[in-house]
A and B are shown apart, each in its own frame.
Chain A
């Protein structure tokens, strides 16, 4: 097992954002955290990343408590957060501790892998939203993370780019067996990607339901089975 959360509670100025969350995330699994806005999905993800340590309960990675950010846990934010003064290549290299020949080759490989061939020397101002997010994904992957946390990574992108990048994630997961935890409010996205969908209720955020999706990949986005699950989730969320 890679990431475990026990009785996790996080409050901000007496407002409880998430309460008593128990969750075990297995290696190579894709988990989608789904819920209405303000339900604490992103809060949960930030505690998993080690960026937010002011929580109650325990978060452990490979059986040791998480005490801060770790190289094995990569994160992709909602906005690409590329540094505007670095070009694509330098941005993707940014996280490497000691760039050597092997890692530089890795960077080149990932630039091609995420579909940014020929764009290495462009600056962020010249990139579209989709290209920026591809670069952000590559920047996280170059550090060879075992877990990739994604905080609504595609919510600002147009529909077609979104579908392309969802397939990119599946390709990555297939190749590197990366564990992925993704926050989303898009049910179709969760149905297409996830092994398990964690449905969170709002204020305070608690786990309302965990839905396993065992239909094999690649999935058909419009399949009848998935639509039935979608209906079930909508009912759970009282919509």
Chain B
């Protein structure tokens, strides 16, 4: 028991020394600015500079969030939005990866379909909305399709550029050691494309959230986008702000998770990570 206890204490201390202190420092430093803004906002709201029907105080927004949560409305909205992004992101990413691999390794296909994709890319993805609604109605299908289209392009473009810009010198190393085509792909091409892949899916995820808002604004009966419309129609800016802030939090958490996975998998990259001093 004592030994175990000591071990725990030791490791906590080490943990503190290595990671927690700089992390806390980072959190504190980066919170200074938003905390000041919140206090100023609260103060100005209380003395009546902002009208509460236009910009409610942070405390009022927080209370609204708590009441929405307690009434059991909030979680289904969050879940609905999250699932739409997840499914659309999944479909868009899968199609993008498949196509970019085919196009990247098959020159004929590149000549055949890449110009078309490059042309379609020029269409602002939101311009598809009316057509999708006409085709698929205002249901889940059109929403998920829209998100998938938004996610598709950044993933496709990044993975493809990752594939076509692989250093010939690395491929030659594979050739020198007599690697089979299969091993060339798994041992050299895939790891080499990984950085571009992560750039692609992180951009894609960001766009996914942008498109879920657009999709839900068009017409939805649940979701954070629906909360935005609801707040507008019922003159409740606090509801709108709750939704906006939740979008920020969910976006940050999902991107942060991807970034964490990226850093774990791509620790070998010779790049300086900003802000960590490494």
Contact = CB atoms under 8 A, between A and B. Distances in A.
Contacts of B268: 84-86, 123-125
Contacts of A26: none
A79 B167 CA distance: 13
Interface stretch (A17-25, A69-77, A105-113, A157-165): A69-77
A77 B177 CA distance: 13
A84 B177 CA distance: 17
Contacts, number: 46
Contacts of A51: 172, 175-176
Contacts of B170: 81, 83
Interface in B184-198: 187-188, 191-192, 194
Interface string A37-79: 0000000000001010000000000000000010100110101
Given A123-B268, A125-B268, A125-B269, A81 B173 contact: yes
Contacts of A71: 178
Q: Which of B177, B188, B194, B266 has the most CB of A within 10 A?
A: B177
A83 B173 contact: yes
Contacts of B172: 51, 77, 81
B169 interface: yes
A69 B176 CA distance: 6
Interface in B259-278: 266-270
A182 B140 CA distance: 66
**Interface size of A as a range:** 20 to 34
Contacts of B175: 51, 69
Contacts of A77: 169, 172
Nearest to B267: A123
Contact of B178 (A69, A83, A85, A125): A69
A79 B169 contact: yes
Interface of B: 169-170, 172-173, 175-178, 187-188, 191-192, 194, 266-270
The 5 closest A-B pairs by CB, nearest first: A125-B270, A95-B177, A85-B191, A85-B268, A123-B268
Given A74-B176, A77-B169, A124-B270, 15 more contacts: A49-B176, A51-B176, A69-B176, A71-B178, A81-B172, A83-B173, A84-B269, A85-B268, A86-B268, A94-B173, A94-B187, A95-B176, A95-B177, A125-B268, A143-B177
